[in-house]
Structure 1
Amino acid sequence: MQLLPFNFSQDPYLVLDFTANNPDLATLDLTNIDTFNDYVFGKVRAAGAVVGVGGYDEDRVVYRNSPHFTPTGDEPRTIHLGIDFWAVAGTPVLTPVDGIVHSFADNARYADYGPTIILEHNTEGFPRYSLYGHLSRATLTDLYEGKPFQAGEKLAEFGPYPENGDWPPHLHFQLMHDMLGLRGDFPGVCRPSERNEWLSRCPNPNKWLMINGLQA
């Protein structure tokens, strides 16, 4: 299954850690977009990599100070439900398996997904839905619900800051068994107390991507 124009068995990539176990994060303000961008792509370049990867079931400190993820008085939403791929804006996103457009939206709030596409699949052994967040706005042009895409066909591109939801350029890729009645959007982060419930809905994409160095 191919999602991006990289060969993860040959092209160099870097697994990025956004948990409290990463000492770098104790001294960085990742709510500052320039700091966040410089950190991510500085690490990727220093490693000689073409893409940074990681994040499924990761308890992320980056979300703890964001009102988008943690309204005052609420339990922080810090458990990441997909895999992130950090690469330059304009990087193509390929359709992993045959599917049709279930829904799409520009979730334009600060720290949200920005332009988002959700596909519906009918492939045996593969989850019913897949989500692609932080895309370019041009990606949504000429889309319509029910539009078919074949495996390997270009679906989208990584969006630039700020149209991608105000993030360093990356793709949030998530799988879901059930859309819970939602359209064009789906939670990508959950509370630790609800972790098991949400992980059962959103299986690990690496079971199908099979990227070494990430849990499957």
Structure 2
Amino acid sequence: MKKILPLPLLPENLYWLDISEQNKELLEVELVNTQSFSDYVFDQIPKGKIGIGGWLENRAIYKRSEHFQQNNEARTIHLGLDLWTDALTPIFTPVACKVHSFKNNVSFGDYGPTIITEHLDSKLGNIFTLYGHLSQNSISKLKIGQYFDQGDQIGEVGNFPENGGWPPHLHFQLMKSMEGKFGDFPGVCSVNDLDYFSKICIDPLEFLGIKKELEN
């Protein structure tokens, strides 16, 4: 299992958080109010555990931001893995890598401070890893091409509003191609675009060595 947070991502340390459109409790949450959204999320997660989930989850929560509404077709399918934990939690590189790009994506509902790294996988070739919803401090002294060994700290979980206006968590996403993008890559797509993005985005659970539990 690859290390990415201080607490190992073992089954006993994880709580599978459902924020899909099937979770009707979210209808009672004022999602546009980030504090209310954050209170709901962390009320669900038992103390001492990391909230996890989101890979290819169809979510209604993106209606909270105009950032995800485009061309009359809303983006609702989540393309990464979310790890919900305290702000300022250190984030470590699961493999040796170098910085491809970074950017503060400042729109409400966007990533906020974002780092994208690049590494060569023996089976898959070049892989790009996106770390989203970081602190501003995570990118303040970063340089393109900067090298990180496996297990080095690359950043920290950001708090709202600097993290794009989200409850504190890490958005972790893997791509086979950057499609010409720099410091940013779609983390959510429309249902019609899922086939396209599913060929680019890699299963982060398999990459990190996490087995999806059916129940908490």
After TM superposition, the score normalised by the length of structure 2 is 0.93
Mapped to 2, the partners of 1:198 and 1:171 lie a distance apart of 20
Is contact 1:14-1:49 (8 Å) kept?
Answer: no
1:43-93, Cα deviation, whole Å (9 max, x unpaired): 11xx3342101001000010134211014x611100000001111111011
1:100-149, Cα deviation, whole Å (9 max, x unpaired): 00000111111110000000101313551000001011111221111000
1:16-60, Cα deviation, whole Å (9 max, x unpaired): 11112212112222122121010011111xx33421010010000
Q: Which residue of 2 aligns with 1:93?
A: 91
After TM superposition, the score normalised by the length of structure 1 is 0.93
1:161-210, Cα deviation, whole Å (9 max, x unpaired): 11111111110000000001110000000000111111110011011112
Q: Which residue of 1 aligns with 2:157?
A: 158
Is contact 1:4-1:93 (8 Å) kept?
Answer: yes
How many residues are paired up?
212
Is contact 1:54-1:214 (8 Å) kept?
Answer: no
Mapped to 2, the partners of 1:214 and 1:113 lie a distance apart of 27
- CA shift, 1:12, in A, is 2.4
Q: Which residue of 1 aligns with 2:32?
A: 31
Q: CA RMSD in A?
A: 1.6
Report SS of the residue matched to 2:178.
coil
Is contact 1:11-1:49 (8 Å) kept?
Answer: no
Mapped to 2, the partners of 1:174 and 1:138 lie a distance apart of 20
Give the % identical residues: 42
Is contact 2:205-2:212 (8 Å) kept?
Answer: no
- Large movers: runs of 4+ above 6 Å: none
Report SS of the residue matched to 2:131.
strand
Mapped to 2, the partners of 1:81 and 1:107 lie a distance apart of 17
Unpaired stretches in structure 1, ≥5 consecutive residues: none
Mapped to 2, the partners of 1:31 and 1:192 lie a distance apart of 23
Is contact 2:87-2:169 (8 Å) kept?
Answer: yes
